[in-house]
Structure 1
């Protein structure tokens, strides 16, 4: 069943006129009147709906039923990702959504190649939000990860987290493995702090540790920035459930 994100209030029995972009997508997929689709608005669960009045540039649906199905992880993970070069952030966000991340916080660190002006940051946020929605459609999630604007690493790490949650710093210098740490802990809300190409500097790692960070390793190999966070997500899911 085709799934679409529709950020509108939805209710069973309601007829909804679809936005132009979604109506166009339905045309591209060659869906016709009477076909059943799934809709979700990010508030939880999904709706089955029947297509009505499918025209060249417009479409509407009748909302038939609400399903309370959820595919979220049994714990929340924030991915604090240093900004990588080129389109790597697009890929990281898409795959992190598939793996169940609940929040994404882009960071500007010392070794970041990318520096975003306010205008570019605004455009990037809109682009990344679209990737989050598309990934949710594809992977079956009915809730979207929250996306924060890019932040300076030093200012971000100095702020106390909203709750008493570990900030995990992935470091090749750590002596305790992420998997070993996770097996000794109950499932819980965590933040994964991922450096850019070249990693976090030693000063940035030390700053994180001074603010309560937990340094953990994922083995003897050096992972790329676009691999590290996703691998850590998979490890936590394997240890705590959800994979």
Structure 2
């Protein structure tokens, strides 16, 4: 997500956390298996039933993507098109990388989590299923999964818990602390990938939905999910 949007949304996100039953910030959470969801459905908190995302949006227009005019079904098809290319590449690269210390870097908003398709008070935000499947498959074969996001450090614990709650393996989570807020998002994300490489990892894939997620190198291959010219964060 771009930094300018987080400056306006962080307060409501923290408010949502205050009224949602979650584990304390920074505590460990056990990743639970995520049931298969077909297009148009969502996983919501324990006090809510499973509802159609599109139905919810038609009734109340709660998700930011609804206001931007982005259709959920279209977005899912476009995500699958990209991930259907990424998945075989990752599988083949892992097979060639015996003995290497490999990593995948993921953006979070609308790359790993369906952020703009759900209102802020719904927690946990559901996973982007094709990204989750790739991350879990790669991790099971020894690849570390790192998340590099423009989200501010104040919600790092909430973010980590959300990722783990919906089933992601989290080898590391990089959020923007105060000094990072003065950098361009792309420069910050490039620097964090360089930090991961400095620990001995080869980043075999970097996946995001914004150009700023992917520029700057420090990854063997990049995959861009749709943001529809910035309509999605």
TM-score range, shorter chain: 0.3 to 0.5
Considering only CA atoms, is the larger Rg found in Structure 1 or Structure 2?
1
Could you state the TM-score of these two structures normalised by the residue count of structure 1?
0.32
| More helix, by proportion | 2
Higher normalized strand content (fraction of residues): 1
What's the TM-score, normalizing by structure 2?
0.33
